[in-house]
Amino acid sequence: MLTRIAWRNVWRNKVRSLVLVTSVALGIWAGIFILAFSYGMSIQYVNIAIEGQISHIQLHQPDYKKEKKIKYNIPEASPIMQKIEALPEVKSVTDRTIVNGMVSSVSSGVGAIITGINPPKEDAVTKLQSHLTEGNYFTGEKKNQVIVGEKLAKKLNVKLNHKIVLTFQDIEGNITSGAFRISGIYKTHNSAFDETHVFVNADELNPLLGLDPEATHEIAVLLKENHDLKIISGKLRGMFPELLVEDWQQIAPELQFVIGSFTQTMYLIISIILLALIFGIVNTMLMAVLERVRELGILMAIGMNKVKVFFMIMYETLYMALLGGIIGMILAYGTIHIFGRTGINLSAFSSGLSAYGMDPIVYTTLPNQQYLEIFGMVFIAALLAAIYPSIKALQLKPVNAIRKI
């Protein structure tokens, strides 16, 4: 009975109730949408780094990670890669020969990371070919082909089919170099990566370094699902105890920090929004109580005890706050679903975003668990907002309240 009375009281003043419900709904909608935008951006940032650069798991010779010297290589990569590829959770595997050196053109020279790759396998892991803006991806029988980033090409003032010279130290510490012709120019979502990485065929780089054709510095593993990360990395450590096996969370801990900090960010943003809404709800309900002083006095005079009056005001407040919260969450879910498919185009800021390795098209998304947590926070906020107006109603004295004009 008390709940029905409270529900009817809510709609006695429809304008005021609708204003409160709308304000709560818009506040919750805005907060959740901002969270979905931030989460979508962070997930894309991590996925771009994993799928385009570091992969899920990397294997190295243990000393290579400490000193980055050419001599610390994996001598026979093929048998290792075959065993890894046989795992059902693995999507693709590639090997890389990596050396720091100098990239020179007729007009300029800069430091860069020179990576020798197996072109088909590398493309299966990082989709490097899809990032080409000009030229071809190691096609034909031509020798000494090199692929450079668009930003690096501009810095070197070179174009497609121009020659550049790669200079580096071989395994004996001798300075060696090779002339390569630009067969392709690529552009990823990370301009810093484009400016510092060039790719050549490992079969042509290894002889210049004095390495065996089967030797490699890095084996990169891309999984079908990220949730298999811990299982497969543990399995690989058991299979290859002589190698250093690291997952992406160990290779790039800053990526894990991006994901890990989202929960704290969510609580902070929603708490600020709910704090503002609490004051709005308290103000509205306090006005409602003060307007109904005579009515509440009569109810108490005819036998409604203070506990029932307290809970009646509590129910009224909860109804409006929760109704607004539910509507806001439904609106947010629909909006997030729409922009999760179409994306939000931030191409106007693409140059700034690419400096941080981010895609200018952001797809909003939010885990279902977060909706439940936000609803719980809305309920607690509504409960807190209902307490003060309810206590204020209890302080009324029936004799004085009835005489209130």
pLDDT digits (tens, 9 = 90+) for 215-231: 999 999 999 998 899 99
Q: What digits encode the pLDDT tens for the residues 227-245?
A: 899 999 999 999 999 999 9
Instruction: Report pLDDT for 337.
Output: 93
Confidence of residue 82 (pLDDT cuts 50, 70, 90): very high
Which residues lie below 8 Å from residue 93, measured CB to CB, with a gap of 6+?
81, 84, 85, 121, 125, 219, 220, 221, 222
C-beta separation of 284 from 385 below 8 A: no
- Residue 405 pLDDT > 60, yes or no? no
pTM to 2 decimal places: 0.77
- Report which of 54, 364, 48 is spatially closest to residue 191, judged by C-alpha positions: 48
Instruction: Report pLDDT for 158.
Output: 92
- Residue 403 pLDDT > 70, yes or no? no
Half-sphere exposure of 48 (CA within 13 A, CB side): 22
C-beta separation of 182 from 148 below 8 A: yes
> Average pLDDT, stretch 161-178?
91
Instruction: Report pLDDT for 353.
Output: 65
- Distance between first and last Cα of the chain: 28
Q: What digits encode the pLDDT tens for the residues 340-385?
A: 999 888 877 766 666 666 777 889 988 888 888 888 888 888 888 8
CA distances (Å), 72 to each of 225, 340, 342, in order? 30, 45, 46
Q: Which two tokens stand for residue 381?
A: 């906020």
C-beta separation of 193 from 357 below 8 A: yes
